[in-house]
Every structure is written in C-alpha cells, then in structure tokens.
Structure 1
C-alpha cells in the first residue's frame, strides 16, 4: 500500500473542498486567513495540497467559515479524520429536549401554521394548523403524493403543488430559489433536490445564477388564492443557536404569520 500517495490524494481532496467552501462564502484567501488566524501562505499550501492540516486546523478553518456541522464532518473526512459531530435520530433519548422544544414552539404558534423542516426542506413535524390550511387546497397528503413526497420545496414550486394557488409566484419562487441555491453550496442533498426542481417548467430564469451582492429579504411574502378569498402570509425561520448534533443543526422551524386581518381571521376559523 502506497500511504504516501494516499496522503497526497487526501491533501488534494481537502484542499479542493476548502477552496470551494471559501469561494462559496465569497472570501479571498486573505479574508479567511485573517478570520482563522493563520498565515495566507499556509492557507495557500493547504488549498493546493502542499501541506496537510492537523485535526485542530480543520476545525479552526470550519469555524472561521461558519460551516454547517455536516459540512464540517465532510471537511474532516476529506483531511483523513473521523467525524466530530454525531447525527442522532430525532426520536433518540438524547434528543428528548430537542423534540420537546420543537413541539412547544409548534403548539404556541397555533392557530397559525408552523412546521419543522431539515436543510433539504423535508417536512419533519408540523402543528395542527398546517394540514388545516392544506385542506382548503385538496389535502396535504394528496398534494405530497402528486409532487413526490412531503418536501416543502417541491410542494411550493411543483406545477401540481402550491404553485397554481400562489398569486405572486414569480417573486416567491425567485427568493426561495435564491436562498436554496446559497444553502446548496454546502449541502449535497439540497443540491440534488435543486437540480430536480430547476427542471420544472416555467420557473424564474434566475435559478442557480444568484447575485450574492443582493441582500436576501428578511421575510418571504406569499399570497395564496383560495376561490374568492386570499391568504397573505410571510414566514420566519428559527434554528438552534448552539447545536452540537448534525440533526439538531439541520432542523429549522418555519412559522407562517398572517400579513392582514382577513388572513388572521380565516386561520383562526380553520382551527376552531
């Protein structure tokens, strides 16, 4: 076994991934070197594969890049080290406080819809109000079956999902695609999903060509037509502040808020 060649190949793989992560953050080598408190020369050697990082250096660089925990594990693996952050199932005993917090946040948001999704927009949990809202559109399970699963990106953008009901679809889709494209830079599962979604007909042409100089909106406005009525909703995203588990790091609570009195009254009637 040629361990020297294996080591060299590992250094190149790590260097390429590190370079991709840095560029995804729109940082120069000097910017990252300053953030990580290393010399630009050493960082250049790491990216080119001429130097091999220590485990501590990988963690230091991942912290400076503010990578998701799963991406940090992949960076460690590329450098030849074991993963640092575990991935527990949500129903594991150690995750009980996490589940309890999620359930509480979902419940207190009623009568307005709220859901828990992972970084690839897969639906993990929801409160009672979300299915009630989908009942006005033929049912949540029926829509999921049409679009290929309970994935909120599919359900929003698919021609047989929410899309026909969204009155401002162009604006909603453009912002959702821009945000997803940014997150997909370090999330392989979301990257594959985004490639699938971008094949849907009639999506805004911006797609993956995201201009990162344009700041993202703080909320995502969406107007949904229901016969003669109209729901006007905006969303907020909440995540765990200090996660040390990959599952906890990937979960986000998306709360839908009424943007006008008519929407609020309808939401309250639905749950009542």
Structure 2
C-alpha cells in the first residue's frame, strides 16, 4: 500500500470518527487496540492491515457509505463497488421493492431516496400525487400550497410534518433548503405555540382530510428500510406507506386512490 493511501485513509477515519462522535480512546477500546495506534492511523504514520480494516468496519456500527469510504481509501480492493443511481443492480433492487412491497399495499406507497424523491410508486400513490399537481418528492407534497387547505387539523398535524421534515433535513441539503424556505415564509411559525399550549399529546397525531363527496380520511404513515443493504445508495432507500386509521378512512382511501 502506498503512502498516499495512508494519508487518505487517515483523513477518512478521522472524518468517520467525528461523524460517530467518538474519541480516539473510544474507537481504540471498541476495536481492541490503543489510542496511540488509532492516532497513527489517522495521521498516516501507520497503514491499516486488512485485519485492522475489518475490525474498524465491523466494530463501529458503520453505515455502508462509511465502510465503503474506509475501504476505498485503504489501498485494498474494496468489496463495495461505486454504483451509479441508474445502475442495473440498483434499478433491480428498486423494482423488487415495488413488486414485493408497494404493489401489494392497497393505499398510496412510495420508495424514496435520502432527498425524499419518489423512486417508485404504486397506483394509489400515482393518483394521490397527481391530485397535487404531480409533485416529484415528499417534501414538495407536504409543502405544497394545495396540501394545507385540505388538512382539517392542520395546526396540530403540521407539528408532525415539521418534525419529520426536520429529521430528513439533517441528512439532506435539498430538504434542508426547502424547509428553510418554508420557515422563512412563516409556514411553521405556529408549531411552537401549538405544542407549548398542548397539555398532552397523543401517541401519534393523525392527519385528517375531508374529501368532498367522499367523507373523512384519517391516516398516518409507516416508513422503514430494508435491512442488510451493503450499498451506499441503496441503504438510503425508504419505503413509505399511507395507513388509514379506521374503517371509514379505509373506505374513503379506497375510493379516492384505489383502482
């Protein structure tokens, strides 16, 4: 391994350690080495062995992106290929998520990336998105000027939107910019007041919508990721499912978004 790899690896290890909020002592304790050795790795004075690289990438609970970065800068052959978003493998994974999850969900369902862009949708989701002008991502849906007027419990429900968008914004500059623009326009100025004046919040806050001629729709959403993703892009894929909360809502959703 060449010395330039040592310095690149050291910088990457230091950056990963910073992301994890760990000291050199904490890293050393976790992987069974000394603080001095971790320091030498970070300064490039020592090059990692394959054994040490394995201990670092498995012992610290790293994301696929972090593991890939360490391997890439180690000088060793990486088991984490740099795939493009339109690669056949990633597209096949998305197709599988659509066919085995989204296709079987009778209500709107989406696969989104870290920026909340819609990567895959089912038929009910297509019809829901079309009703808001064909927005391309989840934050555009939440922040659409057409969305707020149809939510009958907007003041309280928007607190859920706000905290969820804040969560996504911590990892996405695109969503962070969209949220900042909404905040600058005062879209969520009321949230602090509403939460401050609320004595007790329920376990979850339903979104309540009244659809003309159809009735009331109360729903929330369920989101999650596939486990064991070993690709820096694929590990960001999330499935989002709209979940009606009662029999009336299930009926209304079926009429509004069903086939």
Q: 1:119 maps to which residue?
A: 114
Answer yes or no: is the 8 Å Cα contact 1:175–1:220 preserved in 2: no
How many residues in Structure 1 have an aligned counterpart in Structure 2?
A: 236
Give 1:105's match in structure 2, choosing from 101, 107, 118.
101
SS of residue paired to 1:236: strand
Q: 1:177 maps to which residue?
A: 165
Give 1:248's match in structure 2, choosing from 204, 222, 234.
234
Q: CA offset at residue 250 of structure 1? A: 2.5
Q: 2:252 maps to which residue?
A: 266
SS of residue paired to 1:199: helix
* TM-score, with length taken from structure 1: 0.69
Q: 2:140 maps to which residue?
A: 154
Quote the Cα distance in structure 2 between the aligned partners of 1:79 and 1:224: 52
Quote the Cα distance in structure 2 between the aligned partners of 1:96 and 1:165: 36
Quote the Cα distance in structure 2 between the aligned partners of 1:7 and 1:46: 11
Quote the Cα distance in structure 1 between the aligned partners of 2:204 and 2:48: 40
Q: CA offset at residue 225 of structure 1? A: 3.0
Relative to structure 1, is the Cα distance of residues 38 and 113 closer, same or farther in structure 2, using a 3 angstrom cutoff?
farther
Answer yes or no: is the 8 Å Cα contact 1:69–1:249 preserved in 2: yes
Answer yes or no: is the 8 Å Cα contact 2:98–2:122 preserved in 1: no
Q: CA offset at residue 154 of structure 1? A: 3.2
SS of residue paired to 1:241: coil
Q: Does 1:202 align with 2:179?
A: no
Deviations 1:52-111 (CA, angstroms, capped at 9, x unpaired)? 43455345323333333233323334555565323265672686466234312111111x
Quote the Cα distance in structure 1 between the aligned partners of 2:209 and 2:37: 56
Q: CA offset at residue 242 of structure 1? A: 1.9
Relative to structure 1, is the Cα distance of residues 42 and 124 closer, same or farther in structure 2, using a 3 angstrom cutoff?
same
Unaligned 5+ segments in structure 1 are 145-149, 185-189, 206-218
Q: CA offset at residue 20 of structure 1? A: 2.1
* TM-score, with length taken from structure 2: 0.71
Relative to structure 1, is the Cα distance of residues 140 and 159 closer, same or farther in structure 2, using a 3 angstrom cutoff?
closer
Quote the Cα distance in structure 1 between the aligned partners of 2:174 and 2:70: 19
Quote the Cα distance in structure 1 between the aligned partners of 2:64 and 2:95: 19
Quote the Cα distance in structure 2 between the aligned partners of 1:66 and 1:203: 37
Q: Alpha carbon RMSD of aligned pairs, Å?
A: 3.5
Relative to structure 1, is the Cα distance of residues 73 and 8 closer, same or farther in structure 2, using a 3 angstrom cutoff?
closer
Quote the Cα distance in structure 2 between the aligned partners of 1:17 and 1:260: 47
